[in-house]
Amino acid sequence: MAGERLAGKVALVTGAGSGIGRASAERFAAEGAQVVAVDVKGAEETAAAIAAAGGEALALVTDVADEAAVAAMAAAALERFGRVDVLMNNAGILDAYEPAAETSTETWDRVLGVNLRAQFLTARALLPQMVERGAGAIVNVASTAGLNGGNGGAAYTTSKHGVIGFTRQLCFDYARRGIRCNVLCPGAVETGMTKEIFASPDAAVMAAVESAPIGRWAQPEELAAAALFLASDEASFVNGAVYLVDGGFDSK
């Protein structure tokens, strides 16, 4: 699928080395965006795939939970392309579904660091140049675990609820400066994050996923299509939204 829905735009995608981030980076490029693919691993492969398809991408190996690394990431993106119009904060890690009493401080800090703190760091680094132009779109990836308990452990669930709160505040603070900030909430998607579940299927987990009205897992491209809409000017009146792409999982 190729088009021009992001023609002339620069889109930075974190966690672009795999899964939803990779599919989104490739779709954004196919829609005309110059793409900055950011990840701790796999970013080069994504950039190479984009180049092979005739697009333009810069790969950056960055730990988005690291403040200095995020500052360097923003500087490198702006040096190469001069602007970032779309920021998709997608990098994320799971916990091991531990309840609070069994969650180590290291797990808590790492999961909150990658899933939530990183979204603040990247937004803080890239908002000023969006404000200067009076335009921009931020897509923060949460999860159905951001809406309810029971879809992750204490750390993951808290981090994803935090993404929704953070994005609503971004909307409040920046909507009148031309910047739209929305949350993408995936349900169960077949990606690197969930491949272990497929490798040794747990009947209870599989049953929970298949209890979604749609009765199946999503493919990353189905999330990329929704991310594209939120990132594009077609979503001009969509702001502060919590955009569920979960096959109806949360509507049961």
Ligand X SMILES: NC(=O)c1ccc[n+]([C@@H]2O[C@H](COP(=O)([O-])OP(=O)(O)OC[C@H]3O[C@@H](n4cnc5c(N)ncnc54)[C@H](O)[C@@H]3O)[C@@H](O)[C@H]2O)c1
Active site residues: 156
Interaction between residue 157 and ligand X (CB under 6 A) = no
**Smallest gap, in angstroms, from Cβ of residue 94 to ligand X?**
7
Q: CA angle 7-10-16, nearest 5°?
A: 115
Min CB(73)–ligand X separation in Å: 9
Question: Binding residues for ligand X, how many (CB under 6 A)?
Answer: 29
Look-up of token digits 């001069």: 82
Taking phi over 0 as left and psi of -120 to 50 as alpha, with beta for the rest, 130 belongs to: alpha
Contacts of 7 (CB under 8 A, 6+ apart): 31, 32, 33
Q: Does 155 bind ligand X (CB under 6 A)?
A: no
Q: Which stretch binds ligand X (CB under 6 A): 4-12, 16-24, 51-59, 101-109?
A: 16-24
Site string for ligand X, 52-91 (x = CB under 6 A): ----------xxxx------------------------xx
Give the whole-angstrom CA distance, residue 252 versus residue 235: 27
Rg of the chain (C-alpha set): 17
Kindly report the three-state secondary structure assignment for every residue of 47-84.
HHHHHHCCCEEEEEECCCCCHHHHHHHHHHHHHHHCCC
Residue 49 or 131: the one with the smaller Cβ distance to ligand X is: 49
* Binding of ligand X by 122 (CB under 6 A): no
Distance CA 183, CA 119 (A): 11
Stretch binding ligand X (CB under 6 A), from 26-34, 99-107, 169-177, 186-194? 186-194
**133 near ligand X (CB under 6 A):** no
Q: Are 229 and 184 in contact (CB under 8 A)?
A: no
> Interface with ligand X includes 232 (CB under 6 A)?
no
Does the footprint of ligand X cover residue 186 (CB under 6 A)? Answer: yes
3-state secondary structure 1-43: CCCCCCCCCEEEEECCCCHHHHHHHHHHHHCCCEEEEEECCCH
**Among the listed residues 188, 224, 228, 241, the single contact to ligand X using CB under 6 A:** 188
The reply on whether position 141 binds ligand X by CB under 6 A is yes
Among 11, 12, 15, 183, binds ligand X (CB under 6 A): 15
Q: Report the residue from 26, 31, 39, 95 that binds ligand X according to the rule CB under 6 A.
A: 39
Q: Which stretch binds ligand X (CB under 6 A): 1-9, 100-108, 167-175, 189-197?
A: 189-197
Rounded distance, CA 62 to CA 41, Å? 9
Q: Which residues bind ligand X (CB under 6 A)?
A: 14-15, 17-21, 39-42, 62-65, 90-93, 114, 141, 143, 186, 188-189, 191-194
